[in-house]
Amino acid sequence: MPYLSIEDIVASYGDDVPVLAGVGFSIEKGEIVSLIGPSGSGKSTLLRVLVGLTKPKSGRVCLDGVPISYVNKKALREARDRFAIVFQQYNLFQNMTALRNVTVAPIKVKKRDPRQVEEEAIALLEKVGLGDKLHVYPDELSGGQQQRVAIARALALKPDILLLDEVTSALDPELINEVLDTIRILAKEGMTMLIISHEMAFVKEVSSKVVFMDEGKVVEIGKPKEILDNPKTARAREFMAKILRH
Amino acid sequence: MQYTIHFSQVLEYIPYLIGGAWISFQIAFLAFCGGMVIGLAGAMAKTFGNRILKAVVSVYVTFFTNTPQLVQIYFIFFGLPQFGLTLSSYEAVLVGMTLNAGAYATEIQRAGFLSVRKSELEAAETVGMSLLQSVRYVILPHLARVLYPPFSNLYIIMTLGTSMAAIFGVEELTGRSFNVNAITFRSIEIFSITAGLYILVTIAASFILLYFGKWLFRVKGKVF
Amino acid sequence: MWASFLEEIPRFFTYYNGIFLLQAGARTIGLSAIGCIIGFAIGFFLAIIRISRERSFLPMRLFSINFVEFFRRVPFLVTLMLIFFVCQALKLQLSVFTVAMITVCLIASGFIAEIVRAGIESVHITQWDAAEVLNLSMAQKLRLVIVPQAWKVILPPAFSFFLSFIKDTALASQIGVIELTYTGKVFNNKGFSAILVFGTILMMYFIISYPLTRFGRWMERKLAISKH
């Protein structure tokens, strides 16, 4: 049985055009699945649905056999215990230091022991390479450093699955690699991840499976080499041609 | 509660009140136009004038923006006769509101002037525009777009500001509502209707100004 | 004319008149300051209601929008009259100062609600999302994330409103509140020349307003620097 199974998710903003028109695929534990496709295809929306920011109209999400509902506040909180997300930008709370950003949720929401939370937070920040920036504010950090802190913050909640929504797309080119390196570390440790990215080389290197989405539907699923080098469907081929031109 | 609300007694005065709203509009409009003229002159003086001129305008602006319009009008209406200059209520209110508006308009205009960035002027130069052309095609549109929202806001504030003319007996909307109140004593009903008329007038003004601005100057914004 | 003017001055600037003026000045400042403080509390609450997206809040949101728009679109004098006569009809037996205070608080809350709303909306929406996915409650979101970032955007226009509000309180004189403008009328009625009296009142407003204006500009500069 797959670890995470997404079945037939339909979602929209407002009542008209559905952004997700029946999306489904599955992820095994420890797998890294990359979600690619043109903008507007619904990739970010799918992640927002998983983490409870957008309510799905229909469909099922099952984690480790347990269905996750997004029906009430309690269900939302439980969903977020299992999924953690890092956005493209503006992740970090600008009025808190890096350390405080990482510790605020475990202390204030999970009500855990502050000293233990802080120890774990320091360890996480060291893991992402920012052990010397504990008490620095986000506006003094580079974009890449901010994203790494955001990843540490997401990990502090010990999620089952980490969702990464184009986390390098807003970064200056020279800052992208430090974030990708951090993701590589997590991959090696066996973190289950669902990644939206435009960095095709990275996608090929790190993913065990690639899902191509277009216009709210899953168009093609396959191994990275297959989809990226030799897509089967016409739309996937179009997309890859456009991306790989430069 | 012994006071019961009877709108019926007051309905017949609504046309009278609407007439008052028209007077309010006249006062606000005239004072606004006068204020804009003063504002342009003042902003030019502060940007391009000599030190004495700048100082005079500064004193004028500082004084009129740090004192209440009501007391300014009191001074003009009760004080100027001692210098031999006696103005009617309407005139005193108009002069007071114009001078007051002129001070705020000067500040708005000056901020507008300062907002024209060198880079815009340089870009116009590199494209080959003469000074006159860059004024017409670059500076004026930019100024119009930047100045339109604060001036629209000032106009709405002034429309509400005409209400203090009632204190001097001018029969604009608030003044007329005082009159009706003196006749019927249906205070809550009358002032509710008056409040409603002011709300209608300012909402209408906001919409008109907004869509006018969007059409003419591509100004962005919304009413609510 | 100048002779009578010079003769008036020692008669006008007596100790008792001075005390009278200072007390009136205190009432002017008091009305505007307390009005703004209470107005901020109410206005903050109204702004939060207005930006909330929950469906169950809809009636409260409509109330908030109407409340705010009403007090921003009706002149001070008309609102004052309405409150005055409503209090009278309810047989509340309040002093004119209290009526003026109620009016001032309501009007201030209307304007400050909009200022607070703009400040809150200036915080990037992803900050809300990030707080939401960390399961922070609404109160926690506001207290820990949003307000600490919004207050820098709220404070300058709120202070600027306070300054302009000091001038608006002049209209409270019309129901008999003994603030600065009212004392002007009193002295004028007593026979002192209007130029002397209203000139003095204008100067007193200036003395209150101008230093605060300079302070406000200094504060804006410091906040702008600290943002970068």
ipTM over 0.90: yes
Chain B residue numbers touching C209 (CB-CB < 8 A): 66-67
| Residue A110 φ then ψ, to 5° | -80, -10
Which pLDDT band holds residue B37 (cuts at 50, 70, 90)? Answer: very high
pLDDT value, residue B139: 81
Chain C: residue whose CA lies nearest to A150 = C130
Q: Are the C-beta atoms of C47 and C57 separated by less than 8 Å?
A: no
The band of B3, judged by pLDDT with boundaries at 50, 70 and 90, is low
Amino acid identity at C144:
L
CA distance A213 to B209: 45
Nearest CB among B69, B78, B195 relative to C194 is that of B78
> Chain B: nearest CA to C102, how far in angstroms?
16
Instruction: Express each pLDDT in A11-38 by its tens digit.
Output: 988 777 789 999 999 999 999 999 999 9
What is the DSSP secondary-structure string of A124-193?
HHHHTT-TT-TT--GGGS-HHHHHHHHHHHHHHT--SEEEEESTTTTS-HHHHHHHHHHHHHHHHTT-EE
**pLDDT above 70 (res A115):** yes
DSSP state of A61: E
Please list the rounded mean pLDDT of every run of 10 residues in chain C (228 residues). 76 86 95 96 94 80 94 97 94 93 96 96 94 93 94 94 96 94 93 91 96 95 79
Per CB-CB distance under 8 Å, the chain A contacts of C134 are 80, 104-105, 109, 153, 157
Q: What is the distance between the alpha carbons of residues C147 and C119, in angstroms, rounded to a whole number?
A: 9
Cα distance between residue C193 and residue C4, in whole Å: 9
More confident residue, A234 or B8: A234
DSSP secondary structure code for residue C171 in this structure: G
Nearest Cα to Cα of residue C88 among B10, B1, B181, B184: B1
Averaged pLDDT score across all residues of chain A: 91
Predicted local confidence at residue C53, as pLDDT: 74
Query: For residues A93 and C8, which has the higher predicted lDDT (pLDDT)?
Result: A93
Mean pLDDT of A130-148: 94
A52 or B136, which is more confident: A52
Which helix (H) or strand (E) is A59 found in, with range?
strand A58-63
The predicted structure's pLDDT at residue B2: 47
Q: What residues have CB less than 8 Å from B133, skipping those under 6 apart? A: B124
Contact B76, C199 (CB under 8 A): no
Q: What is the pLDDT of residues A189-246, one digit of tens each?
A: 999 999 999 888 999 999 999 999 999 999 999 999 888 888 888 888 888 888 876 5
With beta carbons under 8 A apart, name residues in chain C contacting A93. 127, 130-131, 144-145, 149
Report the gap between the CA of A230 and the closest CA in chain C (Å): 36
* Distance from the Cα of residue C149 to its chain's centroid: 23
CA distance linking residue C208 with residue B146, whole number of Å: 31
Q: Are strands A4-11 and A161-165 parallel, antiparallel or unpaired?
A: unpaired
- pLDDT value at position A137? 95
DSSP β-ladder status, A83-86 and A161-165: parallel
Percent residues over pLDDT 90 in chain A: 68
What is the pLDDT at residue C140? Answer: 94
| pTM attached to this predicted model | 0.89
pLDDT at B1: 39
Partners of A165 in the β-ladder:
A196
Whole-angstrom Cα distance, residue A69 to residue A86? 21
Region B181-199 average pLDDT: 93
Lowest mean pLDDT among A53-67, B59-73, C89-103: A53-67
Lowest mean pLDDT among A192-196, B54-58, B115-119, C164-168: B115-119
Residue B137: pLDDT over 80:
no
Looking at residue C30, its pLDDT comes to 95
**Residues of chain C with C-beta less than 8 angstroms from the C-beta of A76:** 135
**Least confident window among A102-106, B74-78, C14-18:** C14-18
Residues 48-87 of B with CB under 8 A from C: 62-63, 65-72, 74-75, 78-79, 81-83
Chain A interface with C: residues with Cβ < 8 Å: 51-53, 76-77, 80-81, 84-85, 87, 89-96, 104-105, 108-109, 150, 153, 157
Of C70, C167, C195, the CB nearest to B67: C167
Residue B167, chain C, CB below 8 Å: the answer is yes
Neighbouring chains to A with at least 3 Cβ pairs closer than 8 Å: C
Tokens, residue C170 = 């002049």
A93 to C144: CB separation less than 8 angstroms, yes or no: yes
A195 DSSP β-pair partners: A34, A164
| A61-75, A119-133, C176-190: least confidently modelled range | A61-75
Chain C hits for B163, CB-CB cut-off 8 Å, are 75-78
Tell me the CA distances in angstroms from C156 to B92, B103, C24, C213, one per residue in order.
33, 21, 27, 11
